[in-house]
């Protein structure tokens, strides 16, 4: 399917991707069509081995080797200056290319069998919650994707950490399960967030990763009183919390996602999807810890909550 220019959804350790051959000129636009994604948004190039990276970039930056050694294969995407090999469709017309070596065995097998680079964003409609299970991909994209490789549930559950090595200093563009301190332990200080002349990172537009139901984050101590107020107005409420409810109430759908980061993060998008289907007027999310390990989760929740609908 890939060689013929078709789309294949496949599992990675972070989320499911919607893949097309990175060198097939007619294939890449099909990704944008299927997703309703603006055509100038760059895709991530997936390879099975770091030794192929040099073809796609204009010189390997000094931080490349130590980072690749520490974090690949794994949930880390590196943005570097591109070579001729990387097309405008792949890079959204920018002079940089984003590359990742996924560790998921099925992604690895697919890449090796195909024998080339696979361009893939997360396999969701533009602006929506990323899929972490094969059935989510079907839900999101329907018949637009013929082939979905079923690798079960993604173990990490949030998209890869994106680090740019294209500028003067390394810059963290998107938080992920590999945290800032882990990166700094390998290459020293990094800047954080998009800079003024920033490349486009769709995940960094304020509203992104959103369910259709409005989302609001609430401090734990205010959770019950917010629910009471909403119920008084005859509104139905869905709750994503880290503890059980203090009292049983009608009109409330409650998910206790627990306090363990890895499980909370792994189940985050699946939980938001379930709550989205609960027929509630609002999804209330109990604030998660403010510690650095929770940065990626906090980031995705904050984006889900920027929701004018």
Decide if residue 12 touches Mg ion (CB under 5 A): no
Cβ proximity to ligand TXA: between 129 and 305 the closer is 129
**116 to 135, contacts with ligand TXA by CB under 6 A?**
120-122
- Which residues have a Cβ under 8 Å from the Cβ of 7 and sit 6 or more positions away? 1, 18, 19, 20, 27, 30, 31, 34, 144, 145, 146, 147
* Residues 35/177, Cβ–Cβ less than 8 Å: no
Q: Which of 122, 177, 271, 295 binds Mg ion (CB under 5 A)?
A: 122
Minimum CB distance to Mg ion smaller for 122 or for 160: 122
Query: Computed over its alpha carbons, how large is the radius of gyration of the chain?
Result: 20
Q: Which does 91 bind (CB under 5 to 8 A by kind): ligand TXA, Mg ion, none?
A: ligand TXA
d(CA 23, CA 186): 32
Tell me which residues in 186-225 interact with ligand TXA (CB under 6 A).
199-203
Judged by beta carbon, residue 173 or residue 257, the one nearer ligand TXA is: 173
Number of shown-chain residues binding ligand TXA (CB under 6 A): 28
**Residue 233 backbone phi and psi in degrees, to 5:** -85, 15
Backbone conformation region of residue 288, classed left if phi is above 0, alpha if psi is from -120 to 50, else beta: beta
Given the complex with ligand TXA, which of 6 and 202 has the nearer CB atom? 202
Distances (CA, A) of 11 to 76, 95, 106, 153: 15, 28, 7, 8
Query: Does the protein bind ligand TXA through residue 14 (CB under 6 A)?
Result: yes
Q: Catalog residues that contact ligand TXA under the rule CB under 6 A.
A: 12, 14-15, 17, 41-44, 77, 79, 91, 94, 96-98, 100, 120-122, 159-160, 162, 173, 199-203
């Amino acid at each position: 399917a890939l060689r013929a220019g078709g789309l294949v959804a496949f599992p990675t350790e972070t989320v499911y991707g919607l893949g097309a051959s990175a060198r097939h000129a007619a294939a890449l636009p099909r990704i944008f069509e299927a997703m309703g994604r603006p055509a100038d948004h760059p895709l991530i190039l997936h390879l099975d081995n770091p030794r192929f990276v040099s073809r796609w970039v204009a010189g390997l930056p000094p931080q490349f080797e130590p980072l690749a050694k520490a974090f690949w294969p794994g949930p880390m995407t590196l943005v570097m200056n591109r070579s001729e090999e990387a097309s405008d469709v792949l890079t959204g017309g920018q002079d940089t290319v984003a590359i990742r070596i996924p560790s998921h065995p099925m992604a690895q097998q697919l890449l090796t069998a195909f024998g080339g680079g696979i361009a893939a964003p997360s396999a969701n409609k533009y602006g929506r919650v990323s899929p972490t299970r094969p059935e989510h991909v079907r839900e999101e994209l329907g018949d637009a994707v013929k082939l979905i490789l079923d690798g079960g549930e993604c173990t990490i559950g949030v998209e890869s950490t994106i680090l740019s090595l294209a500028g003067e200093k390394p810059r963290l563009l998107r938080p992920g399960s590999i945290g800032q301190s882990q990166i700094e332990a390998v290459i020293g200080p990094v800047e954080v967030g998009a800079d003024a002349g920033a490349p486009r990172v769709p995940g960094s537009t304020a509203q992104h990763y959103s369910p259709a139901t409005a989302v609001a984050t609430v401090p734990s101590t205010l959770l019950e009183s917010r629910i009471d107020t909403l119920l008084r107005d005859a509104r139905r409420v869905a709750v994503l919390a880290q503890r059980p409810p203090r009292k049983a109430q009608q009109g409330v759908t409650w998910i206790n996602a627990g306090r363990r980061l890895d499980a909370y993060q792994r189940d985050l998008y699946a939980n938001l999807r379930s709550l989205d289907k609960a027929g509630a007027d609002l999804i209330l999310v109990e604030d998660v810890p403010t510690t650095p390990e929770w940065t990626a989760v906090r980031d995705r929740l904050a984006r889900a909550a920027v929701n004018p609908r």
